[in-house]
Amino acid sequence: MTAPDPYARAATAAAVVATRTGDAEHRVAVILGSGWAAAADAFGPALAEIPADDLGLAPAGVPGHRGVVRSVALAGGRALVFLGRVHAYEGHDLDTVVHGVRTAAAAGCRAVVLTNAAGAVNPAYRVGQPVLIADHLNLTGRSPLGGPPPPAGQPSRFVDLTDLYGRARRAELIAAAGPLAEGVYAGLPGPHYETPAEIRMLATLGADLVGMSTVHEAIAARHQGLEVLGISLVTNAAAGLGDAPLDHGEVVEAGRAATGELGRLIAVAAGLLAA
């Protein structure tokens, strides 16, 4: 799948989605982060399942990411569920990191639910707790809209992120799913965990959560005109705030332990956005 620009690559991938699923348009996309994959079963049986590499998606190289895309039925239409993502710290350029979001947009999606595993900077959060992302700090020093400008026919790259994570949609989800904490997510490059001094800095900046994904996908999604809901699963206390050393295994295990709750939550979120 070679194409002259990343948006053309996304259009090519969307054509594969339409052929493999028998549906020319999906309504909403869900991207599952570390530890979230088992929650995909909350959507019911897949109508189709496509290997990620058939869509030009880079292979998932981190435990807890399966590397397949499912087409599932929702009351408001079909959803694309990405069981995993790739990260910039794996050596990918940002066009590769956000290819799934752009593919979803080209496949007709009007909204995306972005999930991730996150460390708790806010000491009030508990392990296993889902937290709605209210805003983010992009501390990676990079944007998926950098480099050459988008080709003709694409929106301006000077996109407004004022209400990136949809205040009204968050309120709807809380009304439908029950009380949920909301917080600011700090996106850092990784792959190493942060130092205690860096966590103290993030708290001073107003961060409640810290992770290594999501911010670039959210920016790319808004650039394509998609609504965005972001949900973090708290998998550990951030560096210096807990007694145990940080380990990716606990990230995956926290996701497994919360599978039922997470599945119901993302199914409700996707249903709201698809309606």
Residue 227's SS3 state is strand
CA 47 centroid distance within chain: 22
- Catalytic: which of 107, 111, 212, 254? 212
Q: Which of 7, 29, 87, 194 is catalytic?
A: 87
Q: Could you give phi then psi for residue 230, rounded to 5 degrees?
A: -120, 135
- Per the annotation, the verdict on 156 as an active-site residue is no
Is 89 known to be catalytic?
A: yes
The single-letter code of the amino acid at 73 is: A
| Token pair recorded at residue 24 | 């020319």
Choosing from 34, 71, 116, 232, the catalytic residue is: 34
Q: Which residues touch 252 (CB under 8 Å, ≥6 apart)? A: 34, 35, 63, 64
Q: Do 210 and 200 form a contact (C-beta atoms < 8 A)?
A: no
Active-site entry in 26, 136, 236, 254: 236
User: Active-site residue among 89, 122, 201, 257?
Assistant: 89
Give me the catalytic one of 213, 220, 232, 258.
213
Q: Which of 248, 250, 253, 261 is catalytic?
A: 248
Nearest partner of 102 among 9, 4, 2, 228, judged by Cα: 9
Q: Which residues contact 180 (CB under 8 A, 6 or more apart)?
A: 130, 131, 132, 173, 174, 265
236 catalytically annotated:
yes
Q: What is the CA radius of gyration of the chain?
A: 17
d(CA 169, CA 40): 21
Active site residue 250: no
213 an active-site residue? yes
Q: Is 138 a catalytic residue?
A: no
- 122 catalytic? Reply is no
Reply yes or no on whether 34 is catalytic: yes
CA distance 211 to 241: 15
Helix (H, G, I), strand (E, B) or coil at 86: coil
Would you name the residues annotated as active-site residues?
34, 65, 87, 89-90, 117, 212-213, 236, 248
